Amino acid sequence: MENEYGAYDEDTAHIAHLAQLLRRLGVDVPLFTCDQPADLERGALPGTLATANFGSDARRGLAALRAHQLTGPLMCSEFWNGWFDRWGGRHVVREAADAARELDDLLATGASVNLYMFHGGTSFGFTNGANDKHTYRPTVTSYDYDAPLDESGDPTEKYEAFREVIAKYAPVPTDPTPGRGTKLAAPGIALTECAPLFDNLPFLGTPVASERPLTMEQLGQDFGFVLYETVLPTAGPALLEIEHVRDRAQVFVDGQPVGVLERENHEHAIALTAPHKGSVLRLLVENQGRVNYGPGIHDRKGLLGKVRLNGIEPTGWTSRPLPLTSLTGLAFTSGAEPAIGPSFHRGTFEVDTPADTFVHLPGWTKGNVWVNGFHLGRFWSRGPQRSLYLPDPVLRPGPNEITVLELHAAHLAATIDLRGLPDLGPTEE
């Protein structure tokens, strides 16, 4: 009925309302709650099956569940056999033998189990989440999770280890494990066309005028970017202070980049210089992923709170939503010098037979990738992830189009590679 509600609150009436709602709407299967062992009392509903989430020390986790629930089946509803990655960290892996040993201990008790994850996945587009335990940490695009089946569905060493353990407690198929699927490789794809973001704003979103910056939610927007713009009242040096940047703001004066403010680094102020009275201040703010666990889940985006320039709140802003749900209408040109600031780069490549592949972006800094209009997700040179999964169904025989939004560097020789293997970064044991 709820996922780890005990990590947020202990309002039993909320869970009871959900149970009544589900029954009223015709759901007639057993209902249950799931929480980490320490949160069972806060998140459970009396009279309804409770389950526990954990990745190790199974006997202790199940003992906590039994102490809370004296009768009924025992179940680990999320057995964490790997973990997800965050930008700026390392690629987290869990040894197959260690995970299999914990799974064996769990099944030996007679408890039931749900593997989290069995199949690694991808947070395509802007759909990655984030954590905020006093410091905001956005999750990378890949949700490979070091799972038994990897991001592209290929079996791993962990798959074989789990199969051997499960065979001790239940029948398993006798068929051999499938091998890796066919992968496509195409190095050195040139992105010869360029469309500067600031030159193409009319195709991407409509500005909304207001006295102060509007949040993404006030603009009716879920994901993507917001471009804020105002006119600087005087020339010369100035200090820009922003109460809350959600989540990353690139700052420009008259189209020239002057710096970045990041929520993750608790940054709130930046010094800038206006060349003349009437210079245009722009802030391109990226929603880097909504907090999806814990009390910080009420996560509003954009510029929040007060924005001050030399201690005074400027008025007369425009807030332009840039959801980037469609790139139709962008004015690309070939052969021109790349513009300063964010730009879209586009190229084509030929495919004989579509197959899964991975987009590698050596030399690129930060941005997003679309193939045939499908938004693969974000890339960032800070890692750990250094490739993006491109699934077979996105491709088609013949010409295919790839578009890269680069938020920083101006590329003179813009190329990308399609490779048969991913690069999820250096590992963390």
pLDDT by 10s per residue, the chain, length 429? 999 999 988 889 999 999 999 999 999 999 999 999 999 999 999 989 999 999 999 999 999 999 999 999 999 999 999 999 999 999 999 999 999 999 999 999 999 999 999 999 999 999 999 999 999 999 999 999 999 999 999 999 999 999 999 999 999 998 999 899 999 999 999 999 999 999 999 999 999 999 999 999 999 999 999 999 999 999 999 999 999 999 999 999 999 999 999 999 999 999 999 999 999 999 999 999 999 998 889 999 999 999 999 999 999 999 999 999 999 999 999 976 777 899 999 999 999 999 999 999 999 999 999 999 999 999 999 999 999 999 999 999 999 999 999 999 765 668 999 999 999 999 864
**383 by DSSP, 3-state: which?**
coil
Q: Please give the sequence-ordered ranges of beta strands (E in DSSP) within 211-255, or none if there are none.
A: 225-231, 236-246, 248-253
> What homologous superfamily does CATH list for 186-196+326-428?
Galactose-binding domain-like (2.60.120.260)
Strand partners, 210: 317
**52 by DSSP, 3-state: which?**
strand
217 is catalytic: no
Q: Residue 247, preceding bond cis, omega within 30 degrees? A: yes
CA pair distance 71, 166, nearest whole angstrom: 25
Q: Look at residue 9 in the predicted model and tell me its pLDDT.
A: 87
- What does DSSP assign to residue 428? E
Neighbours of 92 (CB within 10 A): 19
Q: Are the C-beta atoms of residues 40 and 12 closer than 8 Å to each other?
A: no
The backbone torsions φ and ψ at residue 378, rounded to the nearest 5 degrees and listed phi first, read -100, 150
The backbone torsions φ and ψ at residue 257, rounded to the nearest 5 degrees and listed phi first, read -70, 135
Q: Are the C-beta atoms of residues 255 and 340 closer than 8 Å to each other?
A: yes
Helices (H), 109-176: 157-166
pTM score, whole prediction:
0.95
- What does DSSP assign to residue 110? T
Q: Look at residue 25 in the predicted model and tell me its pLDDT.
A: 98
CA pair distance 382, 259, nearest whole angstrom: 17
State the first-to-last Cα distance of the chain, in angstroms, to the nearest integer.
34
412: Cβ contacts below 8 Å, ≥ 6 apart: 337, 338
Q: Look at residue 411 in the predicted model and tell me its pLDDT.
A: 59
| Active-site entry in 2, 4, 193, 286 | 4
Count of residues making up the chain: 429
CA pair distance 373, 415, nearest whole angstrom: 18
| Active-site entry in 78, 102, 286, 406 | 78
Q: Which pair of structure tokens corresponds to residue 402? A: 């790839």
**145 by DSSP, 3-state: which?**
coil
**What are the C-alpha distances in Å from 89 to residues 61, 230, 426?**
28, 36, 9
Which among 181, 174, 139, 138 is positioned nearest to 156, based on CA atoms?
Answer: 181
- What does DSSP assign to residue 397? S
Q: Are the C-beta atoms of residues 231 and 209 closer than 8 Å to each other?
A: no
Q: Look at residue 155 in the predicted model and tell me its pLDDT.
A: 97
CA pair distance 192, 411, nearest whole angstrom: 10
**77 by DSSP, 3-state: which?**
strand
4 is catalytic: yes
Helices (H), 189-283: 201-204
> What homologous superfamily does CATH list for 206-322?
Galactose-binding domain-like (2.60.120.260)
**104 by DSSP, 3-state: which?**
helix
Q: Look at residue 412 in the predicted model and tell me its pLDDT.
A: 60
| Mutual angle of helices 157-166 and 96-108, in 10-degree steps | 20
Q: Where in the chain are all domains bearing CATH 2.60.120.260?
A: 186-196+326-428, 206-322
